[in-house]
Amino acid sequence: MRYEIIRNEVHVPGPVEKALLHKIEKVQERLKRYHPEAADLEIRLRHHAKLNEFDCTLKLKAFKEQLNAKKAAPDLRTAIDRTFDAMMKELDHYRLKINKSLQSSS
């Protein structure tokens, strides 16, 4: 899986960067059974100074589909965690959909 991290005027401290890379590995593990080399993950991190809020947006292009997740929080680590949790739910839902379609076509 290819991934790109886009930081819009956001400094990502070392421990948060490490946690982010760990979350990316978890997504890769979920895609391992399918075609992981055909997947692209875009991670966009933003800070809204007026709201004093960070947001994290994920776009996963895989399976001829695009899965999206976006969450905001007062700190960057929480925004990342919430967004990846939402993406994992999207992935689980999509995997169930794929598996059902494969079983019904057999």
| pTM of the complete model beyond 0.85 | yes
Taking only the tens place, the pLDDT of each residue in 3-26 is 999 998 899 999 999 999 999 999
Please name the CATH architecture into which domain 2-105 falls.
Answer: 2-Layer Sandwich (3.30)
Domain locations in the chain?
2-105
Q: Residue 65 — pLDDT band, cuts 50, 70, 90? A: confident
Angle between helices 14-31 and 76-105 (to 10 degrees): 0
Main-chain phi, psi angles of 33, to 5 degrees:
-70, -25
